[in-house]
Amino acid sequence: MKNMPTDPVPLLQALIRCPSVTPQEGGALTMLAAMLKPLGFACQRLTFSAPDTPDVENLYAELGGEGPHFCFAGHTDVVPEGTAADWTFPPFAGHVADGFVHGRGAADMKGSVAAFVAALTDYLSVHGRPKGRISLLMTGDEEGPAINGTVKVLAWMKEQGRLPHHCLVGEPSCTDRVGDAMKIGRRGSLSFIVTVTGRQGHAAYPDKADNPIPKLARLVERLSALEIDRGNAHFDPSTLAITSFDVGNPAGNVIPQRATLKFNIRFSTAHDFASLRALVAGEVEAVKSAMGGVWETRTVEGAEAFITAPGPFVSLVAEAVERETGVTPRLATSGGTSDARFVKDYCEVVEFGPTNATIHQTDERLAIADLHTTARVYRRILEAYFSS
């Protein structure tokens, strides 16, 4: 352990240099295991499969025994780099310049992984093995379908009797500066596909056709004016975003036979999939009753909303963030989904990591100062957790 660096910068550079674009492992989990084994961690590689999806490699690493079990969860897979020539520095070089570490995954979320390994190294060098258990759950499937990753590792952990008591997910949670936000929940996501079928016809004879476009346009009008809720103490008002209105019609003199609408609802814990399906069904029925047509509604489930209620664990993380950054973190639930949606079924979970300003962008990068700050926060969380 004495040869392990406590500086997260070289650790992050090494991880970035592993081109682990979903679903390829790219050497990232191998590299991470090589960082953890000298610290005394037992590392297990877990590969899961499912029909019509790529096999995914995951890593579970564990140190310690009986007592409180703290898990750090995250992912080493990254989104594609796009056009490499558009980057200032090669996307998988881990280049350091101008106070930043540059590269795909620097912020989302290899920076958090490197910061936690550095924090672990520092913590263990002072305190030794924890009076309890520290584990890392690392997947290569967060940026992909999320079928063969965290959700299956958690099921395996349950079978093995290794479920944690508390979990910290290292997703980049902050907006303007490290410490300004931690996530104690996430909005739910449910997508709808509504198709109206009419009768095709010549544009010069609309009376001989049954145009589905005005019917669907009326639904768009109703949905756009819909107030789903006004939010609550931990969630902003739920939102509905129209994402597509398509008739598949290249001709200007033909009334199409069908029109399809797509929209997405991001919602709070005041709703669930069933209540939102019922809400949309009521809006569809109102238009159908007034205008007729053959209607079909399908849904694509993202995730239900959830929240980790403020309590001792939330307070522990918030206090660690504030003491290291001087900022009181906002208890946020914004953003898209994360693998915390799976963890919440087994234990309390909170998300904290560096700023998310450049995630998934060309020239993704992470400030070295922010990387060090994140590592200090993680060490303080470990110290507080195993001393409380």
Active site residues per annotation: 77, 142
- As a whole number of Å, the end-to-end CA separation of the chain is 25
Distance (Å, whole) CA 218 – CA 211: 12
Tokens of 371: 């990387």
Cβ distance 365 to 358 under 8 Å?
yes
Cα–Cα dist 43/153, whole Å: 13
What is residue 98's three-state secondary structure?
Answer: coil
Identity of the residue numbered 215: K
State how far the alpha carbon of 275 is from the alpha carbons of 261, 262, 279, 340, in Å.
Answer: 20, 18, 6, 23
Is 383 buried (19+), middle (13-18) or exposed (0-12) by CB count in 10 A? middle
Q: What is the CA radius of gyration of the chain?
A: 24
Please list the residues that pair with 366 across neighbouring strands.
Answer: 101
- d(C-alpha 118, C-alpha 6), whole Å: 5
